[in-house]
Amino acid sequence: MVDLDLTQLPFALLDEASLEQLRSAADLSYFDKGEVILDAGQAGNWVYLLHKGAVTELDVQAPSARARIGLYTAGDLFGAISVLNGKSRYRFVADQQTLCYLIPGQLFQRLCNHNTAFADYFRQRLAEKSRLLAEQREGGVTLAGFMLARIRDCMRVPLIMEADISIHDAVSALKAQRADSLLVQRGGEVGIVTKTDLLNALVLDGRSSGDPAASVASFDLVTASPDDFLFAALVSMTRHEVARVVVMRRGRAVGVVELTDVLSYFSSRSYVVGLEIEKADDLDALALASARLPELVRALMAQGVKLRFAMDLLAALNGRLISKAWQFTVPEAHQQHGCLIVMGSEGRGEQILKTDQDNGLILDDGAVWPGQSEAMGQFTEALLRLGYPPCPGQVMVSNPEWTGSLSRWRERIARWAADGSGESMLRLSILADAHSLAGNASLLETLRDALFERCSADQLLMSRFARGVLRFSTPLTVFGTLKKPEHGIDIKKGGIFPIVHGARALALSQRIRATSTFERLDELAARGITDRDLAEDLSEALSLFSELRLKRQLAAMDVGDAHADGNHIVVQELSSLERDLLRDALHAVNEFKQRLSWRFHLEY
């Protein structure tokens, strides 16, 4: 009997009797450097668990430059798929002197036949394995309890009245039902009236109690589905600056979710930060609220919030911070004659901790703003006070190259597209992620149309644009023993960037208006441009990369290391399952790059 460590996944899915069979049947085998352990096309008779050394995985049908597709080290498992499929697709070679535990294929097959969860582990895609990791971290709970709450779990039955009800009768109905809001129906429309609306109408606007309540109702509703996550309702309330969401099913109002309902499910941290942002009446107060965001990030991570949801909430809060800074520094007379845009991770809604400023300004063609340069300098300084560092590439409104009239922006797009240089492609990619935060949002949408018109149909330009995905190699061969602590993976270059830029290139070519990488991948899959399974795996990979990066950044903050490289991931510091997930994620990235190469003719 050999001394196998069977405490980690996937072996942790087996019962004690099965584990005892493994210990009794496994053997320890030595392989010399360069020895073929399992060859492509060979029958899968063993499953291999590495004890010492390293094993290289080779695709013998790929060009030599891309043949090496993986490296396995102590604690890693390979050969399972070969047993399940009958033969190996790849060649596995000892990269150095190596010791492996050999598990008989027949025993492995029997264990799979008698344990569905164990068998599924080896056939699961990245999304399912990510869920296993979440369950492991939460002690068997897929997400923190409140993350499972749906809007239907706590929505209130709506108080619905006809549109001709008077303000007097509306107040009486609210009092009788002890409600804070009611819905009014006007033809096929539904509007909402709150106690505050009615009070303002009577006291401030001089309305009569006999006036129709519909005259003070808002018909521009923030809505949700009963099956949406309750957490998503919190994000919507933050983003739209409202205290309630109307729940709709098949065009009919079926409920209302109040902010107080949401707070009964969630820690109050996000609400407190959002409230502090809204209450801030100067930059000093806004800076205090901004300083609370890292605390919120830690709370969300500690409670097991799925990273994509956390991104949504943080994007909404960051958006409110920046737009309020805009209100404080830009004269009101000019706020609607221009559009403040954010780009980079903030534009994509994928920023967790504050990163460099990436912003610009689009102005009406007829706008006259003599003090624009001074105001933009003040705005940049305001963001510095809120904790947003300056952009090293000067992509900021304080740089005249990133401000200008709509016509001037159109000229820039044409010039960058015609130039075709790497710098011009970088500028186009920055602009492609633009998101409106303040002012006249239609200016950005007009500019986005111009970007689509100039770029999407130009195959040569799109090839130049997409070529950036090949700028950095996919680090599939760094899973061996690292001799120096500074060695590791740059997760941004090797993982995050190819997904973000690849999705960006495809979205631009397809005129997809979404700027979120997750939403772009969803839309590309819906249109059949990207395989749905690959799109899901890329979304999971992006979440994994972002989470690993965030952990590094938070760890650096804990020790006060402001200069630590949060992108640097040392593989040997990860658990066996995390390494497995990382390898699968990088394989998905590599496959995505290959498909992009074919689609945009990047290797010709």
Output the CA–CA distances (angstroms, integers) from residue 303 to 164, 289, 430, in the order listed. 47, 21, 33
Helix residue spans in 79-158 (DSSP H): 80-85, 105-114, 116-123, 126-137
Identify the CA nearest to 130 among candidates 14, 304, 294: 304
Identify the CA nearest to 243 among candidates 278, 211, 215, 213: 278
For the segment 382-440, what is each residue's pLDDT rounded down to a tens digit?
A: 999 999 999 999 999 999 999 999 999 999 999 999 998 999 999 999 999 999 999 99
For residue 520, the surrounding DSSP H or E stretch is helix 517-526
Rounded to the nearest 10 degrees, the angle between the axes of helix 307-329 and helix 269-279 is: 10
CA distance 252 to 331: 42
Say yes or no to pLDDT of 80 above 80: yes
Describe the chain by its helix, strand, coil percentages, rounded to 5.
50, 15, 30
- Residue 144: pLDDT band (50, 70, 90) is very low
Output the CA–CA distances (angstroms, integers) from residue 341 to 402, 439, 445, in the order listed. 10, 9, 11
Q: What is the dihedral of CA 311, 316, 318, 320, to 10 degrees?
A: 180
In the numeric block, which tokens belong to residue 203? 């006291």
Sequence-distant (6+) residues with CB within 8 A of 5 are: 75
Average pLDDT over residues 359-376: 91
For 579, other C-beta atoms within 10 Å of its C-beta total 18
CA distance 488 to 338: 45
In the numeric block, which tokens belong to residue 333? 């007379």
- Does 238 or 342 have the greater pLDDT score? 342
244-249 vs 223-224, strand pairing mode: parallel
Sequence-distant (6+) residues with CB within 8 A of 204 are: none
252-258 vs 244-249, strand pairing mode: antiparallel
Q: Tokens 């979710």, residue? A: 257
CA distance 540 to 551: 16
Sequence-distant (6+) residues with CB within 8 A of 499 are: 517, 538, 541, 542, 545, 589, 592
Q: What is the dihedral of CA 35, 38, 42, 44, to 10 degrees?
A: 150
- Give residue 87's identity as a one-letter amino acid code: K
Sequence-distant (6+) residues with CB within 8 A of 431 are: 343, 360, 413, 447, 451
Q: How many residues does the chain have?
A: 604
Average pLDDT over residues 269-278: 70
- Rank 32-41, 352-361, 560-569, 578-587 by mean pLDDT and report only the highest: 32-41
For the segment 81-98, what is each residue's pLDDT rounded down to a tens digit?
A: 888 888 898 899 998 899
Write the DSSP string, 445-514: HHHHHHHHHHHTT-HHHHHHHHGGGGSS---TT--S--SSTT-SEEHIIIIIHHHHHHHHHHHHHTT---
CA distance 300 to 522: 24
For residue 450, the surrounding DSSP H or E stretch is helix 441-455
- Residue 604 burial (CB < 10 Å; 0-12/13-18/19+)? exposed
CA distance 496 to 478: 17
For 505, other C-beta atoms within 10 Å of its C-beta total 25
Rounded to the nearest 10 degrees, the angle between the axes of helix 269-279 and helix 293-302 is: 160
- Residue 486: pLDDT band (50, 70, 90) is very low
- Domains annotated for the chain, with CATH where assigned, are 11-123 (2.60.120.10), 150-263 (3.10.580.10), 269-455 (3.30.460.10), 468-600 (1.20.120)
First to last CA, the chain: 55
| Residue 58, strand partner residues | 68, 91
CA distance 435 to 349: 9
Phi-psi region of 347 (alpha: psi -120 to 50; beta: other; left: phi over 0): alpha
CA distance 154 to 226: 10
In the numeric block, which tokens belong to residue 60? 């013998």
Identify the CA nearest to 449 among candidates 469, 431, 437: 431
**Residue 145: predicted pLDDT:** 44
Maximum Cα interatomic distance, the chain, rounded to a whole number of Å: 92
**Residue 263: predicted pLDDT:** 67
For the segment 127-139, what is each residue's pLDDT rounded down to a tens digit?
A: 666 655 555 554 4
Say yes or no to pLDDT of 576 above 90: no
**Residue 476: predicted pLDDT:** 65
Is 545 within 8 Å of 583 (Cβ atoms)?
Answer: no
Buried b or exposed e, range 313-341, using 16+ CB within 10 angstroms: bbbbbbbbbbbbbbeebbeeebbeebbbb
Write the DSSP string, 409-441: HHHHHHHHHHH--HHHHHHHHHHHT-EEEEE-H
**Residue 143: predicted pLDDT:** 40
**Residue 394: predicted pLDDT:** 93
Sequence-distant (6+) residues with CB within 8 A of 188 are: none
The overall average pLDDT reported for the chain is 85
Q: Residue 517, Cα to own-chain centre: how many angstroms?
A: 7
Cis-peptide, bond into residue 294, ω within 30° of zero = no
CA distance 467 to 170: 61
* The model's pTM: 0.69
| Residue 34, strand partner residues | none
Q: Using H for helix, E for strand and C for coil, what is the string for 237-259?
A: HHHHCCCEEEEEECCEEEEEEEH
- Give residue 179's identity as a one-letter amino acid code: A
Say yes or no to pLDDT of 155 above 60: yes
**Residue 483: predicted pLDDT:** 37
- Residue 117: pLDDT band (50, 70, 90) is confident
359-363 vs 403-405, strand pairing mode: parallel
**Residue 481: predicted pLDDT:** 40
In the numeric block, which tokens belong to residue 417? 């597209």
**Residue 293: predicted pLDDT:** 85
For the segment 205-221, what is each residue's pLDDT rounded down to a tens digit?
A: 888 888 888 888 888 88
In the numeric block, which tokens belong to residue 185? 């129906």
- Residue 446: pLDDT band (50, 70, 90) is very high
Sequence-distant (6+) residues with CB within 8 A of 370 are: none
H helices then E strands: how many in the chain?
Answer: 25, 20
**Residue 127: predicted pLDDT:** 60
